[in-house]
Structure 1
Amino acid sequence: MNATLDAAYQRLLKELCRRLGAARAELQLLGNADMPARTIVQDDARPVGAGAHAIAIPIREGAHDIGRLHMVFASSAPLPDPAEQELAQTMVELAALLVEEHHQLSWGVLRQASRRILSVAEEELQRIVLDIHDGPVQKLFALSSHLALLQAQLGDTPPEARATLEPTVQRATMLIEGALQDIRVMLSGLRMAEFHQRSLPDVLEELAFQHETLTSNHVALEIAGAIPPVSMPVKIALYRVMQEGLSNAYRHANVDRHAVRVSSHDGWVELEVADQGRGFEPPPLEGPGATEREEHIGLRGMRERMHLVGGQLRVISQPGQGTRVIVQVPSDA
């Protein structure tokens, strides 16, 4: 939440405390697809002694709970009557609606643009893949053919010259073959999975098979129940998060088995990539201390992809305890 909205909530809490005689107030608002959960604590709260009383007032939007207003009163202060509590509830609900409207006006267009950028970036990535395949890869294949021809012609050269040249030609051939294999692996990871034509379960199943083929590791993929259709940006984001999670596990977990679970509940699609490997201490991914370090580029990429589609990322891990990467995305994002 930005400083302007935070200041507005602070003024509201101060006014409620003044009107109702409370020593301090705290507002907890639940998150949704567009706004994260947040807690606003009154910044000039008065101290309370022993025997303080507390009340919790539900904050609703229609029939849905969207948060709680907690107020603390000194033991000598009277508690607000039902009419006063209803007034406080109404004031907070109105403020929450105004904040939501402000957020939609400020960020709705930006988020739509971000999701379009995600699709455009994926298309640009595919263009780069084709350029690499049609350019450098073809030239390396041609060079490999020339080296094979040269190696065949070495049989007609004097023994001394052949003894000098043959090891060099063989090393060059091995280097080119290794480079071509590295490029194949890289391009297979970048290649688009026909996102337009296929469902989310289909593209994730293909990704699991692709990972098994490239690494010889086993991926246990579970599609738990029916998964609702999702937008192109969400499909791309979940695909790339699963890809990065499996890649990280292959490179760092020191195990040859991975588990992936996809489920849907309460309007969210959840993807979990887990392993029972060596584990690590995850860096902070949100807030003022969120990592921007170069070695965390994979985690940062997953975090940013989730932000673009209104999703959430959690990384649960400890040394020796394996790792769980869990993302949740609104199914209608």
Structure 2
Amino acid sequence: MLTQPSGRRSEARGQPQTNQREEGEDIGAEHEAAMLRLTQDQMLVNQALVEKIFACERAEAALRASEKKLHDLLAHQLATREDERKRISRELHDTLGQNLLALRMDIVMMHQETTSRHYRLRDRIGAALDNVDVTLRSVKQLLGELRPSGLELGLLATVEMELRKFTRASGIACELSGNPGIDDLSIGEEEIVTLYRALQECLNNVFRHSLASRVNVRLEAHDDRLEMSIVDNGIGFDPAAPRKANSFGLLDLHERVARHGGKLIVKGARAHGTEVVLDIPIATASADSSGPPAIG
């Protein structure tokens, strides 16, 4: 019987081991290549994420800058609006108001010098005097809308006069209260005007929407801050409800208060009335703190 040479047998035994090593090396190379591709893909993903984060940060910074510019623009518009109101108020008082007063004095003198024999002329002069008085009242009302007439008297007087005017026009009772230190505060004109405009807007909302029968206004001083709360007993509303189209009253108040570094809080509930709280820092009174004097 023929036997295979021992050299061939050893070669046959070594060949599978070589193939296994080569297959193992091929598998290792494939794994290494796969890991390299995975690492490269992960690096690309990380780079894309980093670029996305940087883009979001730039967009956020641009948004904050745009928001600040918008607030600055609104604050500038509010200040410009008040300056324009002040200018128009003074011009109306110094021109139209004074001319009407002079005209009234002349008509009164004519009415006094006209005898009863000229009753027709006397009646016409009396009618002219009535027209002048109506016009004077309209000018005074317009001046009050443009600029609070009691501004030079301080915050309490300004608020009290506005509440009396509101009660006469609406029939809604108003009550004003405040701690004893309010009269001794030195409050800047701009702060008084801001509180006055806020009070105007709140009273307007009470008259138009609340169905209230009473409004309570309270002024309190806390260290270097002043707080004004306006509470009504009306039907209330939901402050979290979406803002109606073309309704900018509360937004305007927020901007006015934020302009002074203050805050505005609105609390409301259905059938439980509404409370508006303004909290602003107290500034010293400005040099030009006097508005136009009253007419008549």
- Bin of the TM-score, shorter chain as denominator length: 0.5 to 0.7
Structure 1 residue corresponding to 2:268, chosen from 316, 319, 326 = 316
Deviations, residues 135-173 of structure 1 (Å, cap 9, x unaligned)? 111222122123212322331644xxx1x3444433332
Alignment of 1:86-105 (within 5 A): 101-105=61-65
SS in 2 for 1:121: helix
Aligned: 1:237 with 2:188: no
Structure whose residues are more often helix by fraction: 2
Question: Which amino acid is the alignment partner of residue 256 of structure 2?
Answer: R
- CA change 1:139–1:300 in 2 (3 A) is farther
Residue of structure 2 equivalent to 1:272: 229
**Are the equivalent residues in 1 in contact too, given 2:179–2:220 (CA < 8 A)?**
yes
Aligned: 1:176 with 2:176: no
**Are the equivalent residues in 2 in contact too, given 1:221–1:261 (CA < 8 A)?**
yes
Question: Which amino acid is the alignment partner of residue 268 of structure 2?
Answer: I
Give how far 1:263 is off. 6.5
The whole-number CA distance in structure 2 between the counterparts of 1:285 and 1:142 is 54
Deviations, residues 100-149 of structure 1 (Å, cap 9, x unaligned)? 64443222244234323333332221111100001111222122123212
SS in 2 for 1:139: helix
- CA change 1:118–1:203 in 2 (3 A) is farther
Give how far 1:328 is off. 5.5
Deviations, residues 23-57 of structure 1 (Å, cap 9, x unaligned)? xxxxxxxxxxxxxxxxxxxxxxxxxxxxxxxxxxx
Aligned: 1:106 with 2:66: yes
- CA change 1:327–1:321 in 2 (3 A) is same
Structure whose residues are more often strand by fraction: 1
The whole-number CA distance in structure 1 between the counterparts of 2:256 and 2:220 is 17
Give how far 1:306 is off. 4.8
Name the count of aligned residue pairs: 222
Deviations, residues 201-260 of structure 1 (Å, cap 9, x unaligned)? x9432322333564676542335999x999986664333102333455578867465323
The whole-number CA distance in structure 2 between the counterparts of 1:285 and 1:144 is 53
List gaps (5 residues or longer) in structure 1. 1-93
Give how far 1:312 is off. 4.2
The whole-number CA distance in structure 1 between the counterparts of 2:117 and 2:248 is 52
Aligned: 1:220 with 2:171: no
**Are the equivalent residues in 2 in contact too, given 1:225–1:264 (CA < 8 A)?**
no
Deviations, residues 251-292 of structure 1 (Å, cap 9, x unaligned)? 886746532344769x9975321233x54668x8975x5331
* Max Rg structure: 2
Residue of structure 2 equivalent to 1:291: 245
SS in 2 for 1:271: strand
TM-score, normalization by structure 1: 0.48
**Are the equivalent residues in 1 in contact too, given 2:175–2:216 (CA < 8 A)?**
yes
The whole-number CA distance in structure 1 between the counterparts of 2:267 and 2:78 is 22
The whole-number CA distance in structure 1 between the counterparts of 2:269 and 2:121 is 53
The whole-number CA distance in structure 2 between the counterparts of 1:220 and 1:255 is 15
SS in 2 for 1:125: helix
Residue of structure 1 equivalent to 2:106: 146
Greater RCO structure (CA 8 Å; 6+ sep): 2
SS in 1 for 2:115: helix
Residue of structure 1 equivalent to 2:97: 137
**Are the equivalent residues in 1 in contact too, given 2:236–2:274 (CA < 8 A)?**
yes
Question: Which amino acid is the alignment partner of residue 173 of structure 1?
Answer: L
**Are the equivalent residues in 2 in contact too, given 1:129–1:190 (CA < 8 A)?**
yes
